[in-house]
A and B are shown apart, each in its own frame.
Chain A
Amino acid sequence: EPEVTQTPSHQVTQMGQEVILRCVPISNHLYFYWYRQILGQKVEFLVSFYNNEISEKSEIFDDQFSVERPDGSNFTLKIRSTKLEDSAMYFCASLYQETQYFGPGTRLLVL
């Protein structure tokens, strides 16, 4: 059964550095999402993406964040200048028949 994949599984970075989190959604899915979960808190929506553009974003998704689908398979989340509070688990998801299928997550630690 096809699954959403994410790389890397863990990333440690210094505050102020740029990070790119990568996701490969299930092929033929058309809607893609990023969520994050700060330790001990809720899973929170960041952004949704359809037809090569952002369809919705949360107030968390400020100018430091961007998303891109650089080719037919990858879907990336970039954080331009990381802050300590960006430390979280980041989940990618893709949508099929009203169900969102989640990747395993990338654990980002900002030092």
Chain B
Amino acid sequence: AQRVTQPEKLLSVFKGAPVELKCNYSYSGSPELFWYVQYSRQRLQLLLRHISRESIKGFTADLNKGETSFHLKKPFAQEEDSAMYYCALREGGKLIFGQGTELSVKP
């Protein structure tokens, strides 16, 4: 079965430190991957898609097919980055989500 794994439930860093939120997937085919973010009391919103290869709010993510990973990175974390981050894989029309990682950026 297709699966998305985010091994860390909670990641706590200090402001200005680099951040890497891990995501691994299993998929038999050419994967389409996303990162969604959910700030406190807000809705899930798209952060970035691997096919657009863009940087949003300083975050980037590179698809590594050899390692079946799509880790989310930011060189310098900000307090406003504190949120839940979900990695998701598109299968057909639906999204398959990972468990989510709560990022806490301390001042």
Residues of A within 8 A of B (CB): 3-4, 31, 33, 35, 41-45, 48, 50, 55-56, 58, 91, 95, 98-105
Contact = CB atoms under 8 A, between A and B. Distances in A.
B30 to A, nearest CB: 14
A8 to B, nearest CB: 15
Given A91-B43, A95-B93, 9 more contacts: A42-B98, A43-B86, A43-B97, A44-B97, A48-B93, A48-B94, A50-B93, A91-B44, A105-B43
Contacts of B94: 33, 45, 48, 56, 58
Main SS of chain B's interface residues? Answer: strand
B42 A104 contact: yes
Given A91-B44, A105-B43, A98 B49 contact: yes
Interface residues of B, number: 20
Main SS of chain A's interface residues? Answer: strand
Contacts of A56: 92-94
Most buried by B among A35, A44, A45, A104: A45
